[in-house]
Amino acid sequence: MRLNSQPYKIVNYYLCLFCTTVGTQMTCPDPGTPPGARRMFGAHAKVTYSCNNRILVGSKERMCMTNGQWTGREPTCYCETNAHYIPSNIKESHSLIETHTKTLYVIFAHLFWHFAFQRHVNMVCFCLEDTRDGRQIRILKNSTLNIYIAMEVSESIDEQYVTNTKQAVRLLIRKISSFSVNPNYDILFYSSVIHKTVDILDGTIDLKTMLDPHCVFCTFLFLESTNGTDLALVFRHFLEQMTHIKSKVGDKTFEEHHHVFIVFTDGGFNKGGDPAPTVAKIKNMVYLSDTPGQQDPSREEHLDIYIFGIGANINHEALMPLTVGRRGRHFFKMQDHNKLKEAFVQMIDESEETSLCGLHRSYVTYDKESSRRVNPWYAYVIVQVKKITFCFGSLVTSNFILTAAHCFRIQDRPEHVTVEINDGKNTVKNFFVHEKFDPGARKEQGVLVFYDYDVALIQLEGHVVIADTVRPICIPCTTETRDALRLDKNSTCKQQEELLLGDDTVHLSFLTRASVNDDTVNEVLVKDVQAKLGNNRPECIKHALEAPNINTDNVTIPVTENFLCTGGQYPTVDHIACTGDSGGAMFKDYDYRTVQVGVVSWGTKELCQSGGLVNSDASSRDFHINLFKVVPFLKRILGNDNQDDFPPLVFLN
C-alpha cells in the first residue's frame, strides 16, 4: 500500500483485514443476517472467540446476562510482529486510509460488530501495537477526575523506557492541563517497594510544579531496592488512597468521582502475590456493588485501568486481566517507546470540551481531515461580485469569522460573501470593517495603499456546529484566553501580550493552501516565521520602503505600530505569504491551545500566487495587524451584550 508515492508507514503493526472469518472444526459458520434485520441473544446465550495463529487478549467466552450486559471483556487479536509495513496485497483505498487515520477505533468497532455476533467467532485479526483505538480518558466538565500513575523501575526495565515514560507522563499532564478540568494526581515509581513523588492526598504540589522540567518525578532516577517487582503493592496503595478520599469527601461526593489508573510495567511481578483481588476491590468500591454483573452499568464509566506494557519482555497474559474499562482496549504493548508520547495525546477524549477556544490536535495524520483537527478554526472567505476574491479567515466564535478588511470593497454586501468551514458553506448576515481602515489615507504621503487597521469581522447567518474539526481560536484579552494561558483571574490584557509577544523574536505561524507541488493530502499547510519585535523591529520594517507603490523615505508612514513584521532570512529563513493568504490568522501555540495574535495583511514582494511553502528572500517582508492593537474594535462587536443574536465574548477590562 502506498500513499503519495511514499510507503504508508504504520510502525510496529499491520492490519490483517483478510483473515479467515469462519469457525474452526466442530463449530458452525456464521449463519448471516438478512438485510434490515439484527441479531439478538437471549439470556444465558454464549459466544466464544478464537484467533488464527494470533494471541487472543480478552475473554474467550462471553455470556448474555439477564441485565442485558455481556460478561467478560471485548476481545482483540494481537500479532507477535514488529512489521513496519502493510502487506502489498492490500491495495490502496480511500476508505482504508481514512479509517486508519480517523483513529483505529473505527476499524475495530466495524470489524467486531460485523463478525462477532455468532455462536463461535474466529476473530478478524487486528494486529497492532498502537493506542488509537482504545477508549479515551474523558475530560468531563464539573466533575472530579483522579488520575493514578505507576511506573515500574525494576532491573528488568531498561533506563531508556523509564526516561521516555517520565516524558510521556509529563506530556499527558500538560495536555490535560489545557482543559478546564483540574485533575488530582497520585504518581509513584515502584519495584519491590514504592517511591511516592506526587501524593493525591497532599495537595501541596501544584500543576506548575509538576510541569516544571525538574519536577519531582521528572528527575527521579532509581530506587535503592530494585530486587523483584510487587505490582500488587501498587494497587493496594491506590486502593488505600481511594479509601482516604472517600472518607474525606463522603460517600455521595465520591460517587461522582472518575478514576483513571495508568500503569507502566512489563508484567513480571514476582512479589506480593496476584494483584487481581485488589483490582476487584477497587472495582467494587467504584461500582458500589460486591456482586460482579449486578452493578449499575453506568458506574463503569467511572473507572478505567490502563496497562502499558513496556520493556523487552512483556507478560501480557498476566497483565490483561488487570485492565478495567467499559469500551475499547485498555492494554497496550508499547515496544516502541518513541510512540508513547503520541499515544498519550491521542488517549484524551475532548468531546465535552469542544467549546473551549484554541483546542486542537497536536499531531498530524495522513487523512485530509488532519489539517482541520490540527487547525480547526480556519475558514475560507469568498467575495464575489464581478470578480472573485479569496481570503483566509479564522473562527473566533461560533457566529463570527475574523479576516482582513482589504478582502472587501466598498460596494460589497453580505449577500456577496460566502464562508466555507470544513466543506460547509455559510451565508453571511453582516460584516464589519474596522472604522479606521482607509486604504487611500496616505496617498499624498507616498503610500498608494495604506493597510493600517486591516481587520474585519464577518457575522454568519447562523452558528456553526462545534466539533473536533470546527473549533474557535483564542483571541487576545478575553477571559477565555486568560484561562487558556492559565493566568490569574486578576491578570490583564497587557500580561497576555507580554506572555505571547514579549521577546524580541517570537515564533509564529500562519496557514496557506497546499499547492500542486506539495507532497501532502492535507488541504492547508503551516508556514513558520519569526516576528521581529522590540530591538529587532527597526531592521525588519525598513524593507517596507522597497515595496512597489511606496514612495517615501519615512518607514513609519506605511508601517505603524499596529503591524507585526516577519520575513527575511535571519535569525531563520522565514516562509513568505502568498496571494490568497491574506486574512489568515497569525497564531501561536501555547501548551496545546492556539491564540491568534495577528491577521495576515500585506507584503513587500509577490513571490508566490497559488499557496504552498515558499521561503522568503533576504529582503522580502510581510506585515500583519497586531490584534492587541485593535482590541477595542473586537470588543465592540464580539463583546456586545446588548443584543440577542449571539453569546458575547467577555473581554478583560
Catalytic positions are 406, 454, 582
Grid cell locating 303:
473507572
Output the nine-digit C-alpha cell for 468: 473536533
Residues in the chain: 653
Q: CA–CA separation, 160 vs 164, rounded Å?
A: 6
| Strand 388-395 relative to strand 378-384, pairing | antiparallel
Counting DSSP H helices and E strands in the chain, the numbers are: 14, 29
Distances in Å between the Cα of 60 and the Cα atoms of 63, 455, 561 are 10, 62, 69
String of DSSP letters for 100-137:
HHT-THHHHHHHHHHHS-SSEEEEPPEE----TTSPPE
The span from the CA of 377 to the CA of 405, in Å, is 19
365 is written with which cell numbers? 495524520
DSSP characters over 440-496 = TTTGGGTBSS--TT--EEEEESS-PPPBTTB-PPB-TTBHHHHHHTT--TT--HHHH
DSSP 326: S
Q: What share of the chain is helix, strand, coil (3-state, %, to 5)?
A: 25, 25, 50
| Cα–Cα dist 116/70, whole Å | 13
Q: Residues 6 or more apart from 151 whose CB is under 8 A from it?
A: 162, 165, 166, 169, 187, 188, 189, 190, 217, 264
User: Kind and range of the H or E element at 168?
Assistant: helix 159-177
End-to-end Cα spacing for the chain: 56
DSSP per-residue letters across 608-625: -SS-S--B--SS--EEEE
C-alpha cell at 314: 512483556
